[in-house]
Amino acid sequence: MELDLLNLESSALSQKVNSIMELNKTSAGFGLELTEKQALELVQHHAKTLRVSGRVEFGEGIMKKLIFAFCDSSFIVPSRYENTLEELMDSFYYLKNESKDGLSDDELLEIMEKLYNGKCQGSADYMREVIYIWLRSRSTLEIPDAEDIFYAEYESRGMDFIEE
């Protein structure tokens, strides 16, 4: 028996869309909301991302945690909310694979959130690059502060970091 990629059944699809729409109640407080169409696109993008990253997801999935972690970010512009969530989702699964599952979902989300809202100033690409470089040079299982992860990227480029 092979694990088989199938399209989501309509009931499961609407269930997912509904659960994302539910999260609007929380994110609306920060000026971020998704329309039903956007929520549907996000669910479809999620399925595609999983397929591309070669992963299988069980249980509640990562979407809810991702939205909770980032909905209070001052770097997310309402008009790009859906796109930003897609970028963050792509980064999440990419980094999950790169970490060889050595980071739990919560650990990775925490690092992402701190860097995105901190040193990377709302750049998902930069955040992904910084974490990727840290993962590559990681020699212990210990997880440093987000700042140390950021410095690791500087060191890898051979740049002297001058503390402000």
Using CB under 8 A as the binding rule, the residues of this chain from 78 to 117 that contact other proteins are 93, 96-97, 101, 104-106
Q: Which of these segments, 14-22, 25-33, 121-129, 148-156, binds other proteins (CB under 8 A)?
A: 14-22
Q: Does 21 bind other proteins (CB under 8 A)?
A: no
Q: Does 16 bind other proteins (CB under 8 A)?
A: yes
Q: Which of these segments, 27-35, 55-63, 123-131, 155-163, binds other proteins (CB under 8 A)?
A: 55-63
Helix orientation angle between 81-98 and 63-70, rounded to the nearest 10 degrees: 120
Q: Find out whether 63 and 22 touch, Cβ atoms under 8 Å.
A: no
Maximum alpha-carbon separation in the chain? 58
List the one residue out of 81, 77, 133, 135 whose CA is nearest residue 108: 135
* Residue 145: strand, helix, or coil: coil
Q: Which residue has the tokens 């970028």?
A: 87
Nearer to other proteins, 103 or 152 (CB): 103
User: Which tokens belong to 62?
Assistant: 């990562």
Positions touching other proteins (CB under 8 A) are 1-6, 8-9, 11-12, 15-16, 19, 46-47, 50-51, 54-62, 93, 96-97, 101, 104-106
